[in-house]
Chain A
C-alpha cells in the first residue's frame, strides 16, 4: 500500500454539476461489459427513499443541475417516480439511463408526470441477445416498444450502444436500427476496460482493422444521414496515445452516489486502494464534495508524478484516469498508461497488438457474464486476496 500523499486542495473547486444517482445494482441483464463493480453483490444495502430525497436536496443546494438515474437497472426500484418528481421539483434536468426493461406505458406516463426530461435507452447485449438484436427478434421488439413510448411521451431520444469486438462489425445495422426507431442521438461508445469488461478484455477488445472499418462506416453514415441523427463514436482508450481528462477532472464536475450511499468522484473509483470514500448516510453532500479526503486526493495537479508533473498537457488531461493507472501501472497516482509517455504504455500496446493479430485466439474464449453468483465468488476472491 502506498503512503498517503499530502492533500493539497484546489483553491475553489466548482460545484458538483453532475449527480449520478446509481439507485440500485440490481439488474435483469447480464452484460459482460458492465461497469458496476465485480463484487457488487457485497454492496447490497440500498439507500431508502428518504435517503435519496435528502441526497437530491443536498446536491441541488450544492449546485448540481444534471441528475442521472442509473444502476443496475433503475426501473428495478419502485420509488423511481418519487425520486424523479423530487429532482424535477428541485430544478434538476433529469435523465433516466435504462435498458428499457421494465418500462411499460403506465410507468412511462408516471415518469412523464413526475417531470422526467430525458431517457437514454441502451442496447444491452449478451451474445444471445446480440443475435436477437441483429436478427430483429426479441430485443428488437422490446426496443421498438420502448422507443414508441419515448416518442409518445415527447422525450428526446438518445440511444446508446456499447461497442466491442463482437458487435463492432455491425455498426451500420445498429445505426440503421436507431434511425428506424426515431432516435435523435446515437452514442456508439466502445467498451472501456474496467470491472466486468476488464475480466472479458480478451474477448471484447476489437482489432485495429475492426476499429478503423467501423470509424469509416460511421463517417459514411453521417454523410448519408445528415441531420436525421447525430452519431457519437467513442474509441477504446487503449487505442489512444494521450489519455482522456477522466470525468472532466477528479472531483471537478461529477459526483456519483452508489446504491449503498458511497460517494465517488467516478463510478469505478471504489476500486482504488488507500482511499476512504465518504457515505451520504454519514456526511452531507457539500462536506463530501469540498471536505472529504476521497474527493480531494486527485483534484488539481499537486498529486502528480512525472511524466505528468512536467507535462505541458497536464491541465488538458489531468493525467488521465486514476483507475486505469491503478489497474495497469499498479499506482493510482501514475500517468494513465494509455499515454505514450507512460513507462507502462507498452502494456496497452501489447493488448492492442494481441487483439489485432489475425491468429488471436483470446477473442473466442467464453464470456464471463455479470450475475449475482459470479459476483459473490469474485468478491470472495478479492476479499481473501486483500486479507492475505
Chain B
C-alpha cells in the first residue's frame, strides 16, 4: 500500500520507470532456464528478451537506462523501438504497474 502511495506522489514523472506489478512475481526458474511471471494459479514463461527487459523493470530504471543496459549487454544498437513496444504490450497485459516510481 505504502509503495503505491509513493508512486502516486511521484506525480508527473510517474511512468518514467516501469515496474513489475504487485499482482505478479518475476522469478528465475532454473528448471525452465527462463524468467517467469507468477500470479494466482498461473504462470507466464518469458522468452529471453522479455525476461531481460522485465527483470530491469524494478521501478528504479528509466526506459532509456533499460535500453542502454540491454544494448551494452547484447552488443546491439537501436533497441529503443523494440523495448518500447514490449513495454507497451506488458502494460496492456497489466504485468507492469499503471504508475511507476521515479529513479
Contacts and interface: CB of A to CB of B under 8 A. Distances in A.
Interface of A: 14-15, 17, 62-63, 65-66, 68, 91, 93, 95, 117-118, 120, 154, 156, 158, 185
Contacts of B89: none
Contacts of A68: 41
Contacts of B27: 65, 91
Contacts of A118: 40-41
B31 A158 contact: no
B81 interface: no
Contact of B38 (A62, A66, A154): A66
* Majority SS at the chain A contact face: loop
Given A154-B1, A156-B23, A63 B40 contact: no
Contacts, number: 41
B1 A120 contact: no
Max chain B Cβ within 10 angstroms of own Cβ: one of A63, A66, A158:
A66
12 contacts: A15-B31, A63-B29, A63-B31, A63-B32, A65-B31, A66-B41, A117-B40, A118-B41, A120-B40, A120-B41, A158-B40, A158-B41
A95 to B, nearest CB: 5
B39 to A, nearest CB: 8
B15 to A, nearest CB: 19
Nearest to B28: A91
Nearest to A15: B31
Contacts of B32: 14-15, 63
A185 B31 contact: no
Interface in B1-60: 1, 23, 25, 27, 29-32, 36, 38-43
B30 to A, nearest CB: 8
Contact of B43 (A14, A66, A156, A185): A66
A91 B31 CA distance: 12
Contacts of A117: 25, 38, 40
Contacts of B41: 66, 68, 95, 118, 120, 158
